[in-house]
Amino acid sequence: MTARITLLDEARIGLRSLIDRVEDIAAPTLRLGVTGLSRAGKTVFTTALVHALIRGGRLPVFDAANSGRITSAALKPQPDDAVPRFAYEDHLRQITVERVWPASTTRISELRLVITYAPPRGGERTLTLDLVDYPGEWLLDLPLLDMSFADFSRTSLALARDPARAAMASPFLSTLAATAASGPENETSARQLAATFTTYLAACRTERVAMSLLPPGRFLMPGDLEGSPALTFAPLDIPSGTTPRAGSLAAMMERRFEAYKSAVVRPFFRDHFARLDRQIVLVDALSALNAGPAALADLERALDSILAAFRLGRNSLVSALFRPRVERVLFAATKADHLHHTSHDRLEAILQRLVDRALTRAKAEGALFDVAALSAVRATREASVNRSGQLLPAIVGTPEAGQEVHGHVFDGQEEVGVFPGDLPQVPDSLFEPGGTGFRGLSAADGVDADFRFVRFRPPAGIGAGAPLPHIRLDRALQFLLGDRLA
């Protein structure tokens, strides 16, 4: 077992945490992490959250805003000069003026917002909110700190050979079969293996397959490390408990795996993750439900890894001196506007069950956890659609130009009313070991199967300064910030 976090890192985290606490007393500050796998909705959520704080809107559950106690919220220069700024203004303009979704998160970014508010007991105060938006792929890397190259190889290959993934993994597995791990080190083989391994990871993440990601996260979200040796490795069939022979391909891969941990994973943990006070984890649970039981099982595995990340680095003497840093974690199922409101509670209940099970397994403690089904920017409205003389609850939106459903290609202007189908009540079979699982909604349920994957444009008729329509964004705000504005 390799050292998970070095003692020096522990000391740096401890010191940083102490400085942050002193600063927090002088000027109350909260670092809120926004994460989730690629396309879960981080960029849209962060933009909507900032906009709601600055512009307000219909936020009945968010007490500080609802009772008119937020005097102002203003953007200020962020504290970390080396981290890119979250392009809030550009994203907002795209959503409201251009009616297109902004470009997704591919790296970490930060934004500082200073909120002036009146506590219920009177007076005026400020809360500095530092938002840190980062790819969930990086979070799923944290458990690697506990793994040796042999551990990583064993778990990755077991999953690649799992029937649910085997087809997507087959080019990688054939390259692997044609490579001798104990043979001499060889850059061409390393690159071929890394490339086919990356293609396999990417295939698992396509919208219709919706498998949650396996590490290494930077293989899909490389940031500025693309092409570097630290990202040019792949799991190998090596017997556990043995040390690869010096000069062998296995030794080379092991070295790079260790470099990945020390140059990529550990600094992210130390400089960013360990400093968060609160965290929202966005989950595209709908895509997983639509894609079927294998995707859902995969989502559970991802939740396990996320929870493991919250426990990391807490079991040494140094870290024991400081209280657990992340105090609140909200798991949020995004894009609830793809469902009729009658199904929002069900989506929440399904996510709750997934999270509960993961919490039990992870024996997570110290932080407060909650779940919500939300839509940060609501792109649809509700209506009734006549289906063979029967009025059914439907959602209406504008599909993006080029979206094709049942042979009809949408032009980006035309609206469509779709019957999204009801999510099931939490079906036990979905969760029981050996159960039949949830097969996803399909035509057999009376659902327009193809509409499950339609991408709607952002809503029409919103001026740049007007509040954005949303679903339950106020609940998220209340859980994440409410107590600090009271």
Give the interface with ligand GDP as residue ranges (CB under 6 A).
Answer: 36, 38-44, 101, 104-105, 334-335, 337, 375-377, 379, 455-456
Nearer to ligand GDP, 44 or 159 (CB): 44
Nearer to ligand GDP, 325 or 335 (CB): 335
Q: How far is the CB of 453 from ligand GDP (least distance, A)?
A: 11
Secondary structure (DSSP) of 431-474: HSTT--------GGGT--GGGGGPPBPPPSS--TTSPPP-BSHH
Q: How far is the CB of 199 from ligand GDP (least distance, A)?
A: 20
Sign of CA dihedral 427, 431, 437, 441: positive
As a whole number of angstroms, the distance between CA 9 and CA 128 comes to 26
Q: How far is the CB of 42 from ligand GDP (least distance, A)?
A: 3
Q: How far is the CB of 283 from ligand GDP (least distance, A)?
A: 10
Nearer to ligand GDP, 212 or 232 (CB): 212
Cβ pair 1, 143 in contact under 8 A: no
Write the secondary structure of 410-434 as one string of H (helix), E (strand) and C (coil): CCCCCCEEECCCCCCCCCHHHHCCC
Q: How far is the CB of 335 from ligand GDP (least distance, A)?
A: 5
Nearer to ligand GDP, 36 or 235 (CB): 36
- Write the CA distances from 30 to 6, 78, 131, 459, 466, integer angstroms: 26, 13, 8, 31, 26
Cis-peptide into 216, omega within 30 deg = yes
Nearer to ligand GDP, 111 or 376 (CB): 376
Nearer to ligand GDP, 17 or 104 (CB): 104
As a whole number of angstroms, the distance between CA 183 and CA 247 comes to 8
Q: How far is the CB of 178 from ligand GDP (least distance, A)?
A: 35
Q: How far is the CB of 210 from ligand GDP (least distance, A)?
A: 13
Nearer to ligand GDP, 40 or 113 (CB): 40
* Helix (H) and strand (E) counts in the chain: 16, 12
N-term to C-term CA, the chain: 46
Residue with tokens 């099970």: 357
Q: How far is the CB of 38 from ligand GDP (least distance, A)?
A: 5
> How crowded is residue 33: how many other Cβ atoms within 10 Å of its Cβ?
22
Nearer to ligand GDP, 135 or 292 (CB): 135
Residue with tokens 């057999």: 444
Q: How far is the CB of 37 from ligand GDP (least distance, A)?
A: 7
- Sequence-distant contacts of 167-170: CB under 8 A, at least 24 apart: 168/200, 168/203, 168/204, 168/209, 169/200
Cβ pair 289, 296 in contact under 8 A: yes
Q: How far is the CB of 400 from ligand GDP (least distance, A)?
A: 8
Nearer to ligand GDP, 104 or 148 (CB): 104
Q: How far is the CB of 378 from ligand GDP (least distance, A)?
A: 6
Cβ pair 485, 127 in contact under 8 A: yes
Residue with tokens 């009616």: 99
Nearer to ligand GDP, 41 or 244 (CB): 41
How far is C-alpha 273 from the chain's CA centre? Answer: 14
| Whole-angstrom Cα Rg for the chain | 23
Exposed e or buried b for every residue in 136-170, given b needs 16+ CB within 10 A? bbbbbbbbbbbbbbbbbbbebbebbeeebbeebbe
Report the candidate in 142, 440, 470, 165 with the shortest Cα–Cα distance to residue 309: 142
Nearer to ligand GDP, 50 or 253 (CB): 50
